[in-house]
Amino acid sequence: MCPSNETPGSEGELIRLFKDLFESDSPPADLILGIGDDAAVFEPGADPETRFVVTTDMLVEDVHFRRNIHSFYDIGWRTAAANLSDVAAMGALPRWGVATIAVPSNVTTHDIMEFARGIRDAMSEHGAWVIGGDLTRSTDKISISMTLIGETTIRVLTRSGAQLGDVIAVTGHLGASGAGLALLEAGDTKVSEEIGDAVVGKHLRPDARVLAGQVFANSEGIHAMMDISDGLGIDLGRLCLASRVGARVFEELIPVSDEVLKVAEALGRDHLDFVNSGEDFELLVTGDRKAVESAARILANESPGLLVSIVGEIIDAPFGINLARVDGSVINPSQLGWDHFRRSEGPGE
């Protein structure tokens, strides 16, 4: 049965469509019961050393996404990516997800199923499964919540373990998601289609660094890790606060792609605006230089093209959190980035 362009006729109709979408002829052996009952059932890890990690994220229309910019498929993908990235930041393997969505009356069955496909496809990239959820009506805005359970048999890395003398490193390139959103908001610009596609793709379809998280967690010299979801500056500030340390970062060491630099130039923006705008879903780690460099070599073999860049060092807390810019100025980057409850900011991404 093809999803309808009409609004859903019943919750039961949608549940049947979800079962068709998410069920498989060869489900994981430890999944006992999936979608369709009052709750899903799965077996705990067979290894007695298995530990579970649980994360949840909420997305609200016109705060985290806008329907004139993001397709329902994009919204679903980004919902899953936010959760997958949190699990990756603990060094765990994502396994089981449940999602809820509240929709107004102008959302069709087709829209809802596109949202579900986005979640399914992002999860399947990492062997994770959606096994349940809930549906309801809202008055005028879409609200989404997703919970994801991961598991690991190795140590769990947290943001509170950074040590004096650690180097600070990040995966990938930073700023593409913010640059992509800026292009989508601006409409026509002077950048080429190739450049536009590169950064917009990073915004609409971010990928969580699940493999990298496991490699770092398996490296004894790595001491702290978190994902970059709200911007490098503010997330580094959170790591330093949890670890009771300070940090020194150097602008010239921050990995920013040529595409982001060209978008910044075309829009008359500082590229650091994009680095600190969030939703890159890269990993921020601290550890011994040798351990970071060793993990980088492993990832170069396991995930060709994935960059690991050392951008600074952990220092004593009284020296604060500093970003040395190439023009000689020094700023506190922890004041930059997205904070939902910062009074000076209004609705945004």
226 within 8 A of 89, measured Cβ to Cβ: yes
Separation of alpha carbons 159 and 325, rounded Å: 25
In a shared domain, residues 137 and 222: no
In a shared domain, residues 53 and 171: no
Q: What is the predicted pLDDT for the residue at 347?
A: 34
- Domain CATH number, residue 229: 3.90.650.10
Separation of alpha carbons 83 and 59, rounded Å: 11
- Tell me which residue of 148, 147, 76 sits closest to 110, measured CA to CA: 76
Q: What is the CA radius of gyration of the chain?
A: 21
Q: Within 10 A of 235 (CB to CB), how many other CB atoms are there?
A: 26
Has residue 159 been placed in a domain? no
Higher pLDDT, 25 or 346: 25
Q: Which amino acid is at 348?
A: G
**pLDDT tens digits, residue range 65-93?**
999 999 999 999 999 999 999 999 999 99
Q: What is the predicted pLDDT for the residue at 190?
A: 79
**Helix pair angle (193-204, 258-267), 10° resolution:** 100
**pLDDT tens digits, residue range 193-203?**
999 999 999 99
Which region among 39-48, 284-293, 299-308, 321-330 has the lowest average model confidence (pLDDT)? Answer: 39-48
Residue 3: band (very low, low, confident or very high) from pLDDT cuts 50, 70, 90 = low
**pLDDT of 173 higher than 80:** yes
**pLDDT of 339 higher than 60:** no
Has residue 158 been placed in a domain? no
Residue 2: band (very low, low, confident or very high) from pLDDT cuts 50, 70, 90 = low
**pLDDT of 1 higher than 50:** no
Residue 341: band (very low, low, confident or very high) from pLDDT cuts 50, 70, 90 = very low
* 93-103 and 129-137 strand pairing: parallel
Has residue 340 been placed in a domain? no
Q: What percent of the chain has pLDDT over 70?
A: 90
- Tell me which residue of 57, 95, 121 sits closest to 281, measured CA to CA: 57
In the block, tokens 């606060």 appear at 241
DSSP track, 3-61:
PPSSPPS-HHHHHHHHHHHH--SS--TTEEE-BTBSS-EEPPPSSTT-EEEEEEEEEEB
Can you say how many angstroms the Cα of residue 43 is from the centroid of all Cα atoms in its chain? 27
SS3 content of the chain, % helix, strand, coil (to 5): 35, 25, 40
Q: What is the predicted pLDDT for the residue at 172?
A: 97
Has residue 343 been placed in a domain? no
- Domain CATH number, residue 65: 3.30.1330.10
pLDDT, average across residues 19-25: 74
Separation in Å, CA 57 to CA 83, 85, 348: 6, 11, 16
In a shared domain, residues 206 and 313: yes
Q: Which amino acid is at 303?
A: S
Separation of alpha carbons 163 and 161, rounded Å: 6
Residue-number span of the structural domain to which 322 is assigned: 167-335
Q: What is the predicted pLDDT for the residue at 255?
A: 98
> In whole numbers, what is the pLDDT of the chain averaged over residues?
90
**pLDDT of 289 higher than 90:** yes
Has residue 57 been placed in a domain? yes
Has residue 341 been placed in a domain? no
Q: Where are the alpha helices (DSSP H) in 164-270?
A: 176-186, 193-204, 210-217, 232-243, 258-267
The structural domain count of the chain equals: 2
Higher pLDDT, 17 or 37: 17
pLDDT, average across residues 174-194: 91
Has residue 72 been placed in a domain? yes
**pLDDT of 33 higher than 90:** no
**pLDDT of 95 higher than 50:** yes
- pTM score of the predicted model: 0.88
**pLDDT of 8 higher than 70:** no
233 within 8 A of 333, measured Cβ to Cβ: yes
In a shared domain, residues 138 and 236: no
In a shared domain, residues 99 and 228: no
